[in-house]
Chain A
Amino acid sequence: MLTLKIWIVQALFIFFTTESVGELLDPCGYIKPESPIVQLGSNFTAVCVLKEKCMDYFHVNANYIFWKTNHVTIPKEQYTIINKTASSVTFTDISLLNIQLTCNIRTFGQIDQNVYGIRIISGLPPEKPTNLSCIVNEGKKMMCQWDPGRETYLETNFTLKSEWATEKFADCKTKRDTPTSCTVDYSPVYFVNIEVWVEAENALGKVTSDHINFDPVDKVKPSPPHNLSVSNSEELSSILKLTWINSSIQGFIGLKYNIQYRTRDASTWSQIPPEDTASTRYSFTVQDLKPFTEYVFRIRCMKEDGKGFWSDWSEEASGITYEDNIASF
């Protein structure tokens, strides 16, 4: 019986707060703006407008309006009565990221009723993206990354744009989980300068990074040399000869190398002087090694003029110098 009474009261409440049975969901007023996005630290004003029918039925006007944020009543000092149907509330220096704002009326002297509610989202416009840089992993597509600037607290989209002098390429839109980098969907063409920049945009603004202009061949990270092999010499117990296969990019650019070596039980690598491996080659003879000793080698390469990135290190390869013929006597 009690449950039925409660249900009836609720039904009557809904009936009396709407204009007619046929308009059960018609609110008593509305708030403008409806879904604001506001810059942190700025001022914001919302206006609640009551409908005439509601005002007549409940015998209220704008003076009966009171505002709440997150269920806390706002002091009347922040209200402004615009006219008999409209009241505004002003916030200065907004600092909360997410505010639920409701417009309410006190009816019959004691019943508080909600007229309308909105959510105020606040955040910051994007800063100019900086430190834009790109890399072309050999055989793969170009990837660019950047620093996005400050946290905006809003959904901010980053778009990488690129073009030749002769045509524009499709925008590269970042994915949610990698908002500060993008891999373009076209294959790189070496020896054609490309211009690249990033646009950042959210509900509060749009900004563009500085443009960079470069030849993709100067941003290459080659694949490492492969099939590294080591052979010894019966005549010379102090040398080992390395041979390897360069990746296919050596057909278009000159390469330079780092060759490192260590004895099997050593923890640190020694390096061949870079000036000795400063141009494209397929082998190298390492000298002044200890006889009858196992050495481990690795090699990496990059564009000969130093532009771009070093490849990963190759697979290690090892070899043993020959016994010293003099010592064996």
Chain B
Amino acid sequence: MSRREGSLDPQADSSISPLPHLEAKIHQTHSLARLLTKYAEQLLQEYVQHQGDPFGLPGFSPPRLPVAGLSAPAPGHAGLPAAERLQLDAGALSALPPLLDVVRRHQAELNPRALRLLRRLEDAARQARALGAAVEAVLAALGAETRGPRPEPAVAAAAAATDAGVFPAKVLGLRVCGLYREWVSRTEGDLGQLVPGGPA
């Protein structure tokens, strides 16, 4: 366990039980997921504001298709064992940063003056990587495998598909921002069940 992951290294001080460290790490990662859920909401709202009509209009709802093999959390996700849920969370969080980078590149061409949106997209990629690494650290500390099934790496396909036009690029961005929000929120919920005193 890297010291940079929040000192979750029982080997570092064998006189201290690893359990408080693990609890602290879970608490910290849960707080991060909660914070990023708020940021993801803000990102999604800001993204919609900059795309123009019909984005943001009531009733506008493009198909929620998988993006580069990444789908939203499955309906049965909450019923899975904790380690499996966290593995899926970690997998999604590792798939999101390159997709967010694709969206940022598209938006840099479509909305070059939307500096705050561009910064939020860049921050989101960075923060998703950090949250994914933190979830993997929790999994490692729990003795679980750190990676579950991963979505196919198809970022190039995602980027190429949107070369077909502006609208597909905007829809891709909407979908990616939505998936980001769903997965960080899902991660918050999954970690919340591990926090002492959290919901069972």
Binding site for B on A (CB under 8 A): 163-167, 187, 189-195, 213, 215, 217, 251-252
B60 nearest CB across to chain A (Å): 30
Whether a CB of chain A sits under 8 angstroms from the CB of B185 is: no
**Contact A192 B134, CB 8 Å, known A163-B4, A167-B126:** yes
Whether a CB of chain A sits under 8 angstroms from the CB of B127 is: yes
Cα of A189 to Cα of B36 in the assembled complex, Å: 9
Q: Can you list 17 A-B contacts (CB < 8 A)?
A: A163-B4, A165-B4, A165-B130, A165-B133, A166-B126, A166-B132, A189-B35, A189-B130, A190-B35, A191-B28, A191-B29, A191-B32, A193-B4, A193-B6, A194-B4, A252-B34, A252-B35
Residue of A nearest to B6 (CB): A193
Quick check: B127 and A213 within 8 Å, CB to CB? Answer: no
Quick check: B130 and A164 within 8 Å, CB to CB? Answer: yes
Please give, as numbers and ranges, the residues of chain A lying within 8 Å of B129 by CB-CB distance: 166-167
Please give, as numbers and ranges, the residues of chain A lying within 8 Å of B5 by CB-CB distance: 165, 193
Quick check: A252 and B31 within 8 Å, CB to CB? Answer: yes
**Contact A215 B28, CB 8 Å, known A192-B134, A193-B6:** yes
How many CB-defined contacts (below 8 Å) exist between A and B?
A: 53
Quick check: A213 and B3 within 8 Å, CB to CB? Answer: yes
Whether a CB of chain A sits under 8 angstroms from the CB of B15 is: no
Please give, as numbers and ranges, the residues of chain A lying within 8 Å of B7 by CB-CB distance: 193, 213
Whether a CB of chain A sits under 8 angstroms from the CB of B17 is: no
Residue of A nearest to B132 (CB): A166
Q: Which residues 1-46 in B have Cβ within 8 Å of A in the complex?
A: 2-7, 28-29, 31-32, 34-35, 38
**Contact A166 B123, CB 8 Å, known A190-B32, A191-B29:** no
Quick check: A189 and B28 within 8 Å, CB to CB? Answer: no
A129 nearest CB across to chain B (Å): 20
Residue of B nearest to A194 (CB): B4
**Contact A191 B31, CB 8 Å, known A166-B129, A166-B130, A167-B129:** yes
Interface of A is mostly: loop
Residue of B nearest to A193 (CB): B6
A123 nearest CB across to chain B (Å): 35
B134 nearest CB across to chain A (Å): 7
Quick check: B35 and A191 within 8 Å, CB to CB? Answer: yes
Quick check: B31 and A189 within 8 Å, CB to CB? Answer: no
Please give, as numbers and ranges, the residues of chain B lying within 8 Å of A195 by CB-CB distance: 3-4
Cα of A187 to Cα of B122 in the assembled complex, Å: 12
Residue of B nearest to A192 (CB): B130
Cα of A190 to Cα of B127 in the assembled complex, Å: 10
Cα of A252 to Cα of B36 in the assembled complex, Å: 11
Please give, as numbers and ranges, the residues of chain B lying within 8 Å of A252 by CB-CB distance: 31, 34-35
Interface centre among A165, A167, A191, A193 (most CB of B within 10 A): A191
Q: Which residues 55-79 in B have Cβ within 8 Å of A in the complex?
A: none
Please give, as numbers and ranges, the residues of chain B lying within 8 Å of A193 by CB-CB distance: 4-7, 28
Residue of A nearest to B38 (CB): A251
Interface centre among A163, A164, A213, A215 (most CB of B within 10 A): A164
Cα of A217 to Cα of B24 in the assembled complex, Å: 13
B41 nearest CB across to chain A (Å): 12
Interface centre among A187, A189, A190, A194 (most CB of B within 10 A): A189
Cα of A217 to Cα of B5 in the assembled complex, Å: 15
Cα of A213 to Cα of B4 in the assembled complex, Å: 7
Quick check: B130 and A187 within 8 Å, CB to CB? Answer: no
Rank and list the top 10 A-B pairs by shortest CB-CB distance, nearest first. A191-B32, A165-B4, A191-B31, A166-B129, A193-B6, A192-B130, A166-B133, A165-B2, A191-B28, A195-B4
Please give, as numbers and ranges, the residues of chain A lying within 8 Å of B31 by CB-CB distance: 190-191, 217, 252
Cα of A192 to Cα of B2 in the assembled complex, Å: 13
